[in-house]
Amino acid sequence: MKTIPVRQHGSILIEAIVAVLVLAVGTFGIVKLNTVLLTGGGESKTRAEALQLAQTRIEALMTAGTLGTCQAAGTTSQTTETNAVAGINATYRVGQTTDNATAERFDAAVFVSWDGSSDPRNAAADKQIILRTVVACNTAGTS
């Protein structure tokens, strides 16, 4: 008596379905990675632009110090731009504080925020750049 081997039907179909599933999971991973990389790149561009705005404001404060336009000792001032500064990557708010500890120098801080904060000094930490410096005043006629 001859035995007839039993054939397995549909095993190729199951293998094809598993292969398509593995391919789909891999494709989803690549798309997700691409999205994360693009988001991170946009955020770094926004931070770089905010840093450039802050550096420009710090340079203006340093120029004011070298021109001898310092305030009297013990004077503190805070300035926040009411109009938004339109950038390439976001809309920014810029603010600054100066504190004249002595007549020869003042402490300056520049705050730049983006994404909806009305006061850059109170923005969320991940949406804010803060630069601090000490500016020497050029007082003519003193040694």
- Residue 73 CA to residue 116 CA, distance in Å, equals 35
- Give tens-digit pLDDT for 38-71: 877 888 899 999 999 999 999 988 887 776 667 6
Q: What angle do CA 13, 16, 17 make, to 5 degrees?
A: 90
Beta-strand relationship, 91-99 and 76-80:
antiparallel
Can you give the pTM of this predicted structure?
Answer: 0.65
